[in-house]
Amino acid sequence: MWELDDRAWTHSRLNCASGLRAVGENALADTIVAETAAHATHPSGRWQRTPDDPRLDGALLLPAIRGAVPAGDPRSRRTLDAYLAALTEDGYAYRFRHDDRPLGETEGAFLLCGFLVALATHQQGDVPAALRWFERNRAACGPAGLPSEEYDVTQRRLRGNLPQAFVHALLLECAARLKE
């Protein structure tokens, strides 16, 4: 997921730890996770966007999915719970809240984030919820079966870039993981 400006993004730092763990550099990954946790853990115990931005972001679901921290890490579980409560509507997920307006007024639901929720809920052992998230977001596509970047929940139509490779990649990953 892209970064919006030059800040110490929590998801980027933790995803670096994921990559390091994948190549066996656990000590360095542990150092990055500890440093990030010291500066980017919200008072509620969940991850926050940056050390100076306490908001939620769909990208914060990625570190546990990719292995930066164990699936049972309480920060990741609290992040998922808070994200579901604050940034989802009608089976669709938004990346972050731009301002105080209702979800969907500033942009559409990010289908990529809906697939992240499917992966995160599956990782937490809630297979029925993961399947619902997967099917809801998989169905948000055009006549050719291709999803776009965003989906307008109110008007039930595609928004944003089409086709969107990130969305397609996570759709395929979800299908493969949920098949198991």
Domain ranges of the chain: 1-53+66-73, 87-180
DSSP 102: P
Instruction: Look at residue 2 in the predicted model and tell me its pLDDT.
Output: 64
**CA distances for 21 relative to 2, 97, 98, angstroms:** 21, 31, 33
User: For the chain, which residues score pLDDT lower than 70?
Assistant: 1-3
- CB within 8 Å of 179: residues ≥ 6 apart: none
In this prediction the pTM is 0.93
What proportion of the chain, given as a percentage, has pLDDT over 90?
72
175 in the Ramachandran plot: left (φ > 0), alpha (ψ -120 to 50) or beta?
A: alpha
Q: Is 170 exposed, middle or buried (0-12, 13-18, 19+ CB in 10 A)?
A: buried
Give me the amino acid identity at 61.
Answer: L
* Alpha carbon 149 to its chain's center: 14
The span from the CA of 36 to the CA of 164, in Å, is 30
What is the pLDDT, as a whole number, of residue 148? 87
